[in-house]
Amino acid sequence: DIVMTQSPDSLAVSLGERATINCKSSQSVLYSSNNKNYLAWYQQRPGQPPKLLIYWASTRESGVPDRFSGSGSGTDFTLTISSLQAEDVAVYYCQQYYDTSTWTFGQGTKVEVK
Amino acid sequence: QVQLVESGGGVVQPGGSLRLSCAASGFTFSNYAMHWVRQAPGEGLEWVAFIQKDGSTKYYADSAKGRFTISRDNSKNSLYLQMNSLRVEDTALYYCAKARIDLGAVAANWGQGTLVTVSS
């Protein structure tokens, strides 16, 4: 199985500042035939189900604020919140869907306000 | 709007069985692949099972293979997860999730979950 490892496990950021979350896969999730990275990001606010933020590593889901952006390719990916808002306090998960029959999540990164 | 309502969770002894249901509304259920994803208390997300929109293709996590069965009834707008030979480590909140129509692997909408507790 492809193992997804996120870093850090938690971070505290001041309101209005940038938050950066990293996700590393144990093997490349870049599919060469279409040049797409099979990587998604989810947000889980306290007491809520997860919410899809980004897929194809950098495509924002409809309705997701543009302060959220995804980048990276191959095995190394980043979710950036450009200006942290109070409502962004949550746990963030990356997920690979390259392995078409077994999808795996990272362990999660908790984002708090400093 | 999209609504996914899970039910069927509860307390069961190790070795027991449960059948989870997910009632879908607000979209054309038969057009979408579906997932079950679980979250143990205080832990992260674990994908459990996937079913294609017509039920023709099903995938399972290794932890679920041979014990869990995903199914759907498009005439009833419902998704199911039959769980047998339950273990203590299956204790979790089980979410039903609707895939993106163009990307079955990605869960675009989630229910609130139903709690399964396996304990003697």
Please check whether residue A112 touches B, CB under 8 A: no
Burial A15-33 (b: 16+ CB within 10 A, else e): eeeebebbbbbeebbbeee
Hey, are the CB atoms on A49 and B106 less than 8 Å from each other? no
State the sign of the Cα–Cα–Cα–Cα dihedral A71, B50, A88, B3.
Answer: positive
Determine the pLDDT at residue B45.
97
Closest by CA to A94, choosing from A29, A36, A39, is A39
pLDDT digits 0-9 by tens, B49-107? 999 999 999 999 999 999 999 999 999 999 999 999 999 999 999 999 999 988 888 99
Local confidence band at A12 (pLDDT 50, 70, 90 cut-offs):
very high
Say yes or no: A95 contacts chain B, CB-CB below 8 A.
Answer: yes
Distances (CA, A) of A72 to A79, B16, B24: 9, 44, 35
* B28 confidence band (pLDDT: 50, 70, 90): very high
**Contact: B106, A55; criterion CB under 8 Å:** yes
B110 contacts in chain A (CB < 8 Å): 49-51
Q: Residue B103's pLDDT is what?
A: 86
Share of chain B above pLDDT 70, in %: 100
